[in-house]
C-alpha cells in the first residue's frame, strides 16, 4: 500500500514538472503545491469546467486528454485546443480569480490534480522570484497565441491544417510501421474549428491527402504516412 501511494505521489509530481506553468517551481515549492492539491477523476465526455462558472482554481492533467472549447449562441461548438498530461486547465482563472473563460470536457477517462487558487496565491505572495518566473511563462503563452492568430490571417487552409497535424503528431504522435499515428481522436468538426475553416473544406483537403498517400487511417485515427509531403504544404 505504501509503495502504491509513493508511485501515485511521484506521478503527480511528474505531471507538475511536465507542466509549462508549474515547471518553474523549485522542488520545495512543487512539494508545497502537491501537499495542497487533491485528486479528481473524470469519465469520458464529463464536463470539467463550464464557461462563466466561478473559478476556485485550476486542474493539472495527470492522465487523459481534455477538449477546450466554446458554445456559440446558435448552439455550435468551437474547439480551441486539446490538452494532455502535464498541461493545465483553467490557469488564467487560477491567477486572476475571474470566471472560467471556456468549456473543458474530458475526451477520455482522466486523472487530474485540483489546485485551489487561495492556496496557490500564498506561494506567490511569499516569492517574488516565483512571480517573475510565472510572468515569463505567461508571456510565452501570449506569444504562442499571437503566432496562432498570424497563421489564421496569413496562411491558406493546407498550410494551417498541415501545421496543426504536425503539432498533433509532435504532442500526441506514436510511430507505427505505416507512419506517425496521432493518438488523440478529433472529429473533422474539431479540426475545422481549430484551423478556422468549414468542415466541408477540411474534409476535402483530408481526402485529397489520403488519395495522394500523404495521410492514412488506423482505427479512426489519422496517420501521417509521408511527413515530407505534408511539410511541403506548411
CA proximity to 11, closest of 62, 65, 86: 62
Q: Is the pLDDT of residue 79 over 80?
A: no
Query: What DSSP line would sit under 112-143, residue for residue?
Result: EEEEEHHHHHHHHHH-HHHHHHHHHHHHHHHH
Q: Which residue has the higher pLDDT, 213 or 155?
A: 213
Which of the 8 DSSP states describes residue 65?
-
Question: What percent of the chain is modeled with pLDDT above 70?
Answer: 92
Please write the tens of the pLDDT for every residue from 15-61: 778 777 777 777 887 888 888 788 899 998 899 998 888 878 888 88
Q: So what's the pLDDT on residue 180?
A: 93
Cβ pair 216, 225 in contact under 8 A = yes
In angstroms, what CA-CA distances link 94 with 21, 53, 58, 132, 217? 11, 13, 6, 16, 39
Stretch 130-139: mean pLDDT, rounded?
77
The contacts of residue 225 (CB under 8 Å, 6+ apart) are: 178, 179, 213, 214, 215, 216
- pLDDT tens digit sequence for 191-229: 887 888 888 999 999 999 999 999 998 888 899 999 998
pTM of the model: 0.69
Three-class DSSP category at 161: helix
* Phi, psi torsion values for 89, nearest 5 degrees: -105, 125
Q: Is 198 helix (H, G, I), strand (E, B) or coil?
A: coil
Complete edge-to-edge strand list for the sheet that includes strand 110-116:
38-42, 110-116, 57-63, 88-89
pLDDT band for position 72 (cuts 50, 70, 90): low
**Model confidence at 80: pLDDT above 80:** no
Cα separation of the two ends of the chain = 51
Residues 6+ positions from 73 with CB-CB distance below 8 Å: none
pLDDT of residue 73: 59
Judge whether 35 and 56 are in contact, CB under 8 Å. no
Residues 109-120 pLDDT 10s: 998 988 888 877
What burial class does residue 55 get, using C-beta atoms within 10 Å of its C-beta: 0-12 exposed, 13-18 middle, 19+ buried?
middle
**Mean pLDDT, the chain, integer:** 82
Amino acid at each position: 500500500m505504501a509503495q502504491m501511494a509513493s508511485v501515485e505521489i511521484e506521478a503527480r509530481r511528474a505531471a507538475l514538472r511536465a507542466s509549462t506553468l508549474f515547471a518553474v517551481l523549485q522542488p520545495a515549492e512543487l512539494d508545497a503545491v502537491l501537499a495542497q492539491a487533491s485528486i479528481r477523476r473524470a469519465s469520458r465526455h464529463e464536463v470539467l469546467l463550464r464557461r462563466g462558472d466561478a473559478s476556485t482554481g485550476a486542474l493539472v492533467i495527470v492522465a487523459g486528454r481534455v477538449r477546450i472549447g466554446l458554445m456559440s449562441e446558435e448552439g455550435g461548438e468551437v474547439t480551441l485546443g486539446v490538452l494532455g498530461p502535464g498541461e493545465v486547465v483553467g490557469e488564467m482563472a487560477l491567477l486572476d480569480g475571474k470566471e472560467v473563460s471556456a468549456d473543458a470536457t474530458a475526451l477520455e477517462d482522466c486523472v487530474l490534480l485540483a489546485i485551489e487558487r487561495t492556496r496557490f496565491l500564498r506561494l506567490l505572495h511569499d516569492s517574488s522570484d516565483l512571480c517573475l518566473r510565472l510572468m515569463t511563462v505567461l508571456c510565452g503563452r501570449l506569444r504562442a497565441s499571437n503566432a496562432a492568430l498570424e497563421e489564421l490571417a496569413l496562411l491558406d487552409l493546407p498550410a494551417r491544417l498541415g501545421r496543426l497535424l504536425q503539432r498533433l503528431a509532435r504532442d500526441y504522435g506514436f510511430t507505427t510501421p505505416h507512419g506517425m499515428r496521432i493518438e488523440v481522436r478529433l472529429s473533422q468538426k474539431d479540426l475545422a474549428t481549430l484551423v478556422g475553416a468549414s468542415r466541408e473544406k477540411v474534409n476535402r483537403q483530408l481526402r485529397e491527402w489520403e488519395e495522394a498517400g500523404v495521410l492514412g487511417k488506423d482505427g479512426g485515427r489519422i496517420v501521417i504516412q509521408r511527413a515530407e509531403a505534408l511539410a511541403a504544404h506548411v
